[in-house]
Structure 1
């Protein structure tokens, strides 16, 4: 893409995120560009330079849509919504865990900020949930706060604290700082969020033990280590992830009644639960996987959630 016109500066970081994910996750790249185009049309679609830029962006989106035609995240809006939300919350979780562990570095700052940008992108599917509005504000503020602390040689305070006005402008910065420049009253995000909540809003989980490390996987920056370095000679301890919700055995014996009629929406929701279960298993989150599989099975066998 050519340089972003000054009138469309508000979407330049979303376009940069798209470029960074071009090969890593084309679905993320596609929706970042879609958000940039929709927002850009509202910002300025009349000046020649903006019109020219937006037309090129539109052509790029059409090309990507054809190339990704077989991808359900592009052809089915509900799957695309889940894909972007899961990706954003994984990045948020990675950065939040690093923050609470006192590991302050450029990758975690960028993960916080990129998570906030992807939560912006979710608006192409409709209005954000109140939870995601709070996550976006917190992630963007945390990125600015930690960046400014490190820049001035101060040690950031881990975890949620009163949000005061912060502003910076760098390669992934937010001009103007945190939205509103005021504390988020009562907002206390937990250490962990479920990767794939059934209702598209992140369910708050109890803080995990300090020795539990969530592997960054594909959601973390490419040069992020899978776990913090261990002191020489330290033994590797196995991680035990308890299943807090035992499987509902009765569901496995349920047979679909003859008068049960499933709608296309029911099948779509069942697909959503199965997709969420698959995402949870990537993190060895057995409880969440079981919960979503149970919901899918119940829906398919009884027609009710």
Structure 2
């Protein structure tokens, strides 16, 4: 990354950790780094695009984005939103699951805290593609709370409790050491997650999309593939599906009209299938592609 940013203006303090995460991923995963910067750019424009210092900072940040976009070339995760969204979502959930594995095993340490918090930042970045699903809103809230809770416990010499005991998910301030710190120590509550349609994982109560399972030994510092090569495989199956006009689907269905919700659900299945292929999870990929085909060919049954 050749374009260096000037000091971040005070107005953009809420974006400093997203930019730090982008910098940390420049060599680890350029796609993730790109979308973290794009998130900071979009939100920076909303916060202040008029003051001289903010305009200067945003101009340099835009230069970084342009340089990075050229470096990535024809990467499917940059040129196609559905592939990029799946890449960022799976990276975030992989980090979340690593941290949750450590939490459930009672292994409380700095790297696990960072993984929880970074997962929440990457779910922030996922909003560049649109509104988060309810599941990912819960993931983000829980990950940020968990980072806060464990950080405060270790700081105060206390032993944290594993799992969602005491989860509140409210009132966060940004801490200067890269974690999230709440205004008050979390207290116990009666909050419990409602079990959903979950694939097999060691996390009870939060739905993890298929293909997002992480190995138990994947810390935040371990380099991750940029996805430039792996997404090419998954996109080959996605491209054909998404290039067909909805009207053609209707004709193929013998006049049956599919709703926008049907098309959105089919796209989700295809996204999950593409994500599963990134992790060489063939069974999950086939299962989700079959679900998409069943939805789009329902009238033939």
Aligned with residue 11 of structure 1, among 2, 11, 15: 15
Q: Can you list the C-alpha shifts for 1:93-149, whole angstroms capped at 9, x where unaligned?
A: 111111011010111100100011011111111111122111111100100110111
Structure-1 residue corresponding to 2:193 = 188
| Distance change (3 Å), C-alpha of 1:285 and 1:107 | farther
1:291 matches 2:293: no
Larger % of helix: which? Answer: 2
Alignment of 1:176-255 (within 5 A): 176=182, 186-188=191-193, 202-203=207-208, 215-216=215-216, 220-222=219-221
Paired residues of 2:165 and 2:189 also in contact (CA < 8 A): no
1:106 matches 2:110: yes
Structure-2 residue corresponding to 1:159 = 163
Consecutive unaligned residues of structure 1, counting only runs of 5 or more, are 196-200, 206-212, 225-258
Paired residues of 2:113 and 2:179 also in contact (CA < 8 A): no
Structure-1 residue corresponding to 2:30 = 26
1:65 matches 2:97: no
In 2, the alpha carbon distance for the partners of 1:299 and 1:59 equals 43
Structure-2 residue corresponding to 1:83 = 87
Shift of 1:303: 9.1
Shift of 1:290: 4.0
Structure-2 residue corresponding to 1:53 = 57
Shift of 1:215: 2.1
In 2, the alpha carbon distance for the partners of 1:285 and 1:215 equals 16
TM-score by length of 2: 0.70
Moved more, 123-132 or 33-42: 123-132
Shift of 1:272: 2.8
In 1, the alpha carbon distance for the partners of 2:97 and 2:180 equals 20
In 1, the alpha carbon distance for the partners of 2:300 and 2:14 equals 43
In 2, the alpha carbon distance for the partners of 1:94 and 1:160 equals 16
Q: Greater RCO between the two (CA within 8 Å, min separation 6)?
A: 2
Structure-1 residue corresponding to 2:175 = 169
Q: Can you list the C-alpha shifts for 1:170-208, whole angstroms capped at 9, x where unaligned?
A: 321235559xx7878644387x9659xxxxx94489xxx
Q: Can you list the C-alpha shifts for 1:192-236, whole angstroms capped at 9, x where unaligned?
A: 9659xxxxx94489xxxxxxx95257x632259xxxxxxxxxxxx
In 2, the alpha carbon distance for the partners of 1:304 and 1:54 equals 53
